[in-house]
Structures are given as C-alpha cells and as structure tokens.
Amino acid sequence: MAKKIMVVDDDPDLREATEIVLSGAGYNVVLASSAAEALEMIKTTAVDLFILDVMMETDTEGFHLAYKIRDMEEYKNTPIIMLTCIEERTGQVLDPDKAGDFLPVQGFLRKPMDAKTLKAKVAELLK
C-alpha cells in the first residue's frame, strides 16, 4: 500500500508542485494550508510522513506544528521534514545540521527544493 504523505504549506503553488512530484513517485499525498487544518485532518487520516513549511501564517508556525505532532502518541516516531527559508525574514540561516539537535524532526530542505532532492529525502525516511 502506498505511503501517505501530508504536505503543509501556505503557498498553494508549492503544495501543488510538491504533490505532483510525490504522486509521480507513487505516494499518496494529502494537503493542508495551515497548522490548524493539518491538525484537524490528522484526526481522521493516518499519515506516514509530514512535510512542513516553517514559515506560514507566523514565522515559526511550522516548528510549533512539529512539536504538536510529536506530542501525539500515534505520531511520536513519524518522520517530519521541514521546508526552510527562514533567512529571508530574519537574516539568520537555519543550519539543518545543527537545527536537528533541538527540533524533533528528521530532515530539513531549503527552499526552493528540487524534485530529485525531495524524492530522495522522502525515500530515505520512509525506508
């Protein structure tokens, strides 16, 4: 059975592009445009991997969503990938190698990500 991936991003074009790439790779993709919508959806939909944008309505909405997902018993080990472009707003480049020390996520991808990199990362985490 195909793995289910949830993509949470407030940019509709990026959501669509990510869905195209992952669907083409054989995954089921569910989309959410905000943290609130995502939390509502996962009550009724089991997800195998999360792809979360960091900056949505607020600069750190993605981080807060990651923590909430981790607090849920059924998702405490589910892989999470963060999509970052935080340097645009704050001037601080988020170093994926170091950020993982304090965030409960398994991977970071810097926007814009390309299809190959995204698929490779997803495949690695769902192995």
116 makes contact with another protein (CB under 8 A): yes
Of 6-14, 35-43, 57-65, 66-74, the window that binds another protein (rule: CB under 8 A) is 6-14
Neighbours of 73 (CB within 10 A): 7
Shortest Cβ 27–another protein spacing (Å): 12
Beta bridge partners, 52, equal: 8, 82
Q: Which of 5, 8, 18, 122 binds another protein (CB under 8 A)?
A: 18
Q: Which of 58, 67, 112, 126 binds another protein (CB under 8 A)?
A: 112
Of 41-49, 59-67, 70-78, 110-118, the window that binds another protein (rule: CB under 8 A) is 110-118
Shortest Cβ 77–another protein spacing (Å): 28
90 makes contact with another protein (CB under 8 A): yes
Of 33-41, 44-52, 66-74, 88-96, the window that binds another protein (rule: CB under 8 A) is 88-96
Task: Spell out the SS3 assignment of the chain.
Answer: CCCEEEEECCCHHHHHHHHHHHHHCCCEEEEECCHHHHHHHCCCCCCCEEEEECCCCCCCHHHHHHHHHHHCHHHCCCCEEEEECCHHHHCCCCCHHHHCCCCCCCEEEECCCCHHHHHHHHHHHCC
Q: Closer CB to another protein, residue 39 or residue 99?
A: 99
